Structure formats: C-alpha cells, structure tokens
DNA sequence: ACCTGAACACCGTTCAAGT
DNA sequence: ACCTGAACACCGTTCAAGT
C-alpha cells in the first residue's frame, strides 16, 4: 500500500471515524441537530456508508451515549480525592466534576439521557448509566461504614444524590441557574443542602 | 352564519386548535417526534396554515412549554396542603405532585426543558420556569420563618430542592428509577434525604 | 467486504395564488 | 385576513450497482 493521493475507496476504519466525527461535532457545534448525513459528509463518505456499520441512526446515538457514560464515570473516579478527611471533602469534588462534565459536553450529556428509543431496545445503555450510579453508591456506602453519614437505606441516598446532581447539571445546561434569579453560587449552595441531608446531624449546625 | 356541511375555508380559531391538537398528541403519542406537518394534518388544515399563526416550529414549541410550566405551577399549588403540621407534610405532597406531572406528561415535560432555541430567543419561557421555582422558594421561606427548616440561604435550598425533584422526574421518565437497580420506593427515599437536608437537625434521627 | 448514487417517503419553510 | 398547493432544500433509509 503506497500513499494515496485521493481518498481510497475503502475507508479503513469507518466505524471509528464516524464515532469520532460525531463526538467532535457534538463538542463543537452547539445546538446541533444530530444528523447522520452531516456526520457522513464530514467523515468524507457518502450518506449511505454509515449504514454498513450501524443499523440506523439510533444505534449510533446509543453508541455515543455509552461512550459518554463511560467517560463520565472515569471523570468521577479521577475526581475522587485520595484520602478525604470528611464527607464534604469527598462529595464536593465529585459533584463538581459531574456538573463540569455536563456543562462541558452539553450536547453529549443530553444525548446520554434522551436516546429513549435506544433505552427501549437494549439494556446496554442502562448498564452504563447504572455504573455511574454505582460510583455514588460506593461513596455513600463507605461513608456509612465510616460513620460520617446517616444510617438510611443507602440506595435511597444515592438516588437522591444522583438526582440532585443530574438536575443541577441539566438546569445549568439549560441556562436556568442564573445567579440573579436563583441566588449566587447556586451549585455550591445546592451541594451544601445535599451534604446537610447526608451528613450525621450536628445539633449546632 | 349558518351551519356549514363542509369544513369552512377559514377555521375560526386555528391558533388555539393547533395548540390543543399538539398538546393532545404530546399526551397520547408516546415517543412522538414533534412534527408541524402532522399537527396540521390532525387539525385538518394544510401544512402551511400554521405559519399564519406561528413564525416557525420553535415558536409553537415555546408556546406549549409555557403552557406546561403554567400547568405544573397550578398542579403544585393544588397539591399544597391547607394546614401542614410539619415540613415533611408539606414537602412530600408537593414533590409527589411534581413528579406525577412529569411522569403523566413525559413528552410535554421534556419539551418544557429542551426548547433551547426558544430559551435563547425569548425570556418568556424562563419567566414561567422561574414561577415554578418561586413556589418552592415560597414554601421554604415560610418554613424558615416558622422555624421548621434550617437557616441557610433559602435560594440555595430551593435550588437544591428543585434540582432534586427535577432530576428524579427525568430519571423516572427515562425509566432509570427501576427498583431492582436503584432500591425500592426510590422516590420516597430520595424525598426523605431531601427532607433530611432541609429540616432542623435532630440529634436522635 | 465495503462504498456509492439514485430513489422514496418524509420534514420545515416560503410564496404565489385562491377564498 | 386567512388558507392552499406547488416548490425547495433538507432528512432517514433502502437497494441495485460499482470497486
């Protein structure tokens, strides 16, 4: 195989190229209507080519969503402090990392939770989403064991924590967390209330 | 004007009819891709007719979203108990009413928060959304005054409460609140943690 | 085995023309 | 003043044909 002056007929690894291109456009083009034809265009292939690698548009969406959940999980694990000295010291950086992931990748984050059709079709997506849930679950479980958080059904606490952070992330993406309306530092304030709800109650607080 | 055996050329109140038809389809057709042409079809007019009443598709979306926020606000006010004897007694029914609104009108609820373009164009939508926020704000403000909830910046608490319920609602819509994965009665459990975070700490809890 | 081009049934939007 | 029909530039998806 010598260097080809023109695009070769066969693309080599079109599947990966399509995914990469889509992620790229999701990152750069804000408020982009995900369109298969444009992905193909930017990848330099005909609009029919993707169908050799994905059964339909939804399948690509699901693939992207799974990648998104994996990356989110990694971001959370990376943000986990080595030796947190308090519950707050552990919850805050993880929460901030979560919200940052969402606001840095708004289109991808949206997509992760709105590939409804995909959710109906396969359980793979749910699995990835619940892997994120388990990061929270694990954190709170260790907190309970260490005696820093309340003894309550830990899955309920994890659900509350996930929902709160998920909600904050989406409100932020939607531009509804404007300080003038909702108070200054809304993110930190909301996390404070979450910590209040998880921490062992201190009568003097 | 006598009774007309055939559809009159002029529709009477097409604007309202379009909105009504759209709300209807949003309610009945699950996972429906909102399409202007189909709304027109069901309303019994040509696909171009709606353009006399709405500048574009987004304008109709925004209109529907505003109606959604108004209805949500009313549902919350209706759910507010007459004379709550405790914080929990007031927060729980309102929270349940909120989530119920979302799960009963999943398509509309989604739409309310994803008419991005509309959000960019006008502030009207944000106003309606923040009217909902103010219901929460008011509830917590009275709670602080009555001494049933912690003294913290009330806007931060309201943000936390809204985000948590918003998050729960979306997770429920997305089918991610399955008891097998997330624990039984996830909704009640999450609300319990929210109440923990808002209530004046009791050392014995 | 992998990609292209034409084709089909859809959209949103516009605009001259009808009532 | 309000609605229609044809038209344009898009989509997703399929399929025979090319390499």
Distance (Å) from CA B18 to C1' C16? 24
CATH number for position B20: 1.10.10
Interatomic CA distance for residues A125 and B87, integer angstroms: 38
Of the candidates A59, A100, A57, the one whose C-alpha atom is nearest the C-alpha of residue A78 is A100
Q: For residue B12, what are the domain limits? A: 8-55
Tell me whether residues B201 and A198 touch, CB distance under 8 A: no
CA quadruple B21, B22, B26, B27: dihedral sign: negative
CA–CA distance, A108 with A175 (Å, rounded to integer):
16
A85-89, B67-71, B80-84 — most confident range: B67-71
pLDDT at residue number A8 = 60
For residues B72 and B51, state if they share a domain: no
Has residue B2 been placed in a domain?
no
Residue B3 lies in a domain: no
- Residue B183 or B15, more confident: B15
Contact of A50 with A40, CB cutoff 8 Å: yes
Of residues A12 and A193, more confidently modeled? A193
Residue numbers in A near B152 (CB within 8 A): 189, 192-193, 196
Point out the residue among B119, B126, B197 whose CB comes nearest to the CB of A194. B197
Which residues 15-74 in chain A have a CB closer than 7 A to strand D? Answer: 34-38, 47-48, 51, 55-58
pLDDT of B196 reads: 95
Q: Is the Cβ pair A170, B171 closer than 8 Å?
A: no
Flag if B177 and A196 touch (Cβ within 8 Å): no
Whether B4 shows a pLDDT value over 50: the answer reads no
Do A44 and A137 reside in the same domain of the chain?
no
Residue A169 and residue A68 share a domain: yes
- Which nucleotide has its C1' atom closest to residue A50's CA? C3
- Answer whether residue A95 is part of any domain: yes
> How large is the average pLDDT for residues A177-185?
88
**For chain C, which bases have at least one atom within 7 A of a protein Cβ?**
2-7, 10-16, 18-19
**The tokens of B105 are what?**
């009108």
For range B107-133, the mean pLDDT: 82
* A10 pLDDT higher than 70: no
A26 and A106 co-located in one domain: no
> How far is B117 from chain A, CA to nearest CA, in Å?
8
Mean pLDDT of B146-159: 95
Domain shared by A14 and A65, yes or no: no
Residues 6+ apart with CB under 8 A from A130: B176, B181, B182
* pLDDT mean across residues, chain B: 90
- Give me the residues of B, 72-101, that contact A with CB < 8 A: none
Q: Read off the pLDDT of residues A77-122 as tens digits, 9 standing for 90 and up.
A: 999 998 888 877 899 999 999 999 999 999 999 999 987 665 655 5
pLDDT at B116 > cutoff 80: no
C-alpha–C-alpha distance, residues B108 and B68, integer Å: 7
Q: What is the mean pLDDT of chain A?
A: 90
What CA–CA distance (Å, rounded) separates B189 from A46?
51
Give me the residue from B153, B191, B201 closest to A205, CB to CB: B201
> What would the two tokens of residue A110 be?
């949206």
Residue B157 in any domain: the answer is yes
Q: Is the pLDDT of residue A184 over 70?
A: yes
pLDDT at B10: 62
Q: Can you give the three-state secondary structure of chain B, one letter per residue? A: CCCCCCCCCCCCCHHHHHHHHHHHHHHHCCCCCCCHHHHHHHHCCCCCHHHHCCCCHHHHHHHHHHHHHHHHHHHHHHHCCCCCCCHHHHHHHHHHHHHHHHHHCHHHHHHHCCCHHHHHHCCHHHHHHHHHHHHHHHHHHHHHHHCCECCCCHHHHHHHHHHHHHHHHHHHHCCCCCHHHHCCCHHHHHHHHHHHHHECCCCCC
Q: Is the pLDDT score of B12 beyond 80? A: no
On whether both B37 and B13 belong to a single domain, the answer is yes
Judge whether B204 lies within some domain.
Answer: no
Global model pTM greater than 0.85: yes
For the domain that residue B106 is a member of, what is the CATH number? 1.10.357.10
Domain-located, residue B96: yes
CA–C1' gap, B53 and D5, in angstroms: 19
Chain A residues closer than 8 Å to B174 by CB: 113-114, 116, 119
- Return the closest nucleotide (C1') to the Cα of B49: D3
Identify the band that residue A204 occupies on the pLDDT scale cut at 50, 70 and 90. Answer: low
**Are B51 and B62 in a shared domain?**
no
Into how many domains does chain B fold? 2
In this structure, the dihedral spanned by the alpha carbons of residues A68, A44, B33 and A71, taken in order and rounded to 10 degrees, is: 0
């Amino acid at each position: 195989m010598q260097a080809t002056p023109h695009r070769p007929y066969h693309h080599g690894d079109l599947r990966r190229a399509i995914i990469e291109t889509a992620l790229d456009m999701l990152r750069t083009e804000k408020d982009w209507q995900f369109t298969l034809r444009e992905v193909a265009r930017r990848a330099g292939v005909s609009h029919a080519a993707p169908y050799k690698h994905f059964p339909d548009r939804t399948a690509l969406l699901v693939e992207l969503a799974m990648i998104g959940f994996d990356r989110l999980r990694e971001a959370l694990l990376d943000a986990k402090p080595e030796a947190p000295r308090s519950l707050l010291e552990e919850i805050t950086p993880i929460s901030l990392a979560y919200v940052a992931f969402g606001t840095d990748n708004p289109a991808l984050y949206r997509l992760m939770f709105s590939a409804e059709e995909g959710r109906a079709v396969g359980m793979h997506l749910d699995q990835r989403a619940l892997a994120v849930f388990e990061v929270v679950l694990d954190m709170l479980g260790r907190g309970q064991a260490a005696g820093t958080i309340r003894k309550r059904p830990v899955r309920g606490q994890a659900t509350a924590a996930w929902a709160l952070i998920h909600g904050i992330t989406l409100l932020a993406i939607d531009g509804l967390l404007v300080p003038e309306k909702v108070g200054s530092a809304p993110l930190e304030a909301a996390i404070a209330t979450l910590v209040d709800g998880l921490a062992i109650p201190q009568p003097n607080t």
